[in-house]
Amino acid sequence: MTFVFLTAGMGGRSVGDAGDKLRNKPSSADLDEASVLGYLLENPDFLMDHPEVLMVATPPARFEEAGDDKVVDIQHVMLKRLQTEMADLQDCAEQLIITTRSNMATQKGTLEAAAAVMDCEGLSSLAQVIAEDLPMLLDVDHCSLRLERHVEPPADMEGDMDGIGIDTDFDVATLPAGFVEALFGAEAHAVLRPSVDAEEVLYGQAARVIRSDALVRIDAGSDLPPGIFALGTRVEGTFEPEMALDLLLFLARVVEHAVRRWAPESL
């Protein structure tokens, strides 16, 4: 990848081009100092045609040290500093591009996850999509939706299901009453935990491998119990308190609307 930085007299030539050429240069077995010198003498306009080489070459000092009376070559010092600054700028540009691409991938995954949530046709379908599809889209190990259990399952519900109105293995209402407020407090909407011993009521059996998670409060309405939208990973430190929450809160609001839409049929 080539990054272009313009300096006076360079005619818009790329520092990255010079680096690419140097990385692709023949080995020392093919070139020696005499060959390089001979080529430059035969092509005196080489540095005029390729000024970017000067940005990576070691500049010569115009003065030699003579005993204790040292003469400081300011031009030499300034050129070395300029080379260092240009290298730092190129590193910053590379990091910016990497970060931008990562952010774009995160945004794309979040929008695809939101679309998958909106396509659900019931609370059971919602729980299944969150558990099976969202981890891949969001690049995490586990996602779950959990609501507090304010009512007991109907007596005629088949199997030993722990969920409310769920006809699959994806339980939703597993949290004891008061769990959400105890975890978030009265005001917080999200909690990012860089290191955690995950709760089984949030992740089920997957709690054994979760080492960092992001939790968002789900408030689907006054007639529905509160809940939590959880993202967990195996890597400790994945989620840090200072991380931006915009995309996570957006996705949680989409999940919240889906719960509000379907939960009345089940709770």
Residue where the block lists tokens 């931008």: 100
- According to the model, what pLDDT value does residue 115 have? 94
What are the structure tokens assigned to 254, written together?
């989409």
pTM exceeds 0.95, yes or no:
no
User: Pick from 154, 166, 137: which is nearest to 251 by CA?
Assistant: 137
CA distance 256 to 267: 15
Supply the pLDDT for residue 112: 93
pLDDT digits (tens, 9 = 90+) for 36-91: 888 888 888 887 788 777 666 766 666 555 455 566 576 777 777 888 888 888 88
The total number of residues written for the chain in this structure: 267
Measured from the Cβ of residue 8, the count of other Cβ atoms closer than 10 Å reads 6
CB 122 within 8 A of CB 265: yes
Cα 79 from Cα 44, distance rounded (Å): 22
Instruction: For 243-255, write each residue's pLDDT tens digit.
Output: 888 999 999 999 9
Assign 3-class secondary structure to the chain: CCCCCCCCCCCCCCHHHHHHHHHCCCCCCCCCHHHHHHHHHHCCCHHHHCHHHHHCCCCCCCCCCECCECCCCHHHHHHHHHHHHHHHHHHHHHHHHHHHHHHHHHHHHHHHHHHHHHCCCCHHHHHHHHHHCHHHHHCCCEEEEEEECCCCCCCCCCCCCCCCCCCCCCCCEEECCCHHHHHHCCCCCEEEECCCCCCHHHHHHHHHCCCEEEEEEECCCCCCCCEEEEEEECCCCCCCCCCCCHHHHHHHHHHHHHHHHHHHHCC
**Residue numbers of the chain with a pLDDT score lower than 50:** 1-16, 18, 22, 66, 151-169, 265
pLDDT value at position 25? 56
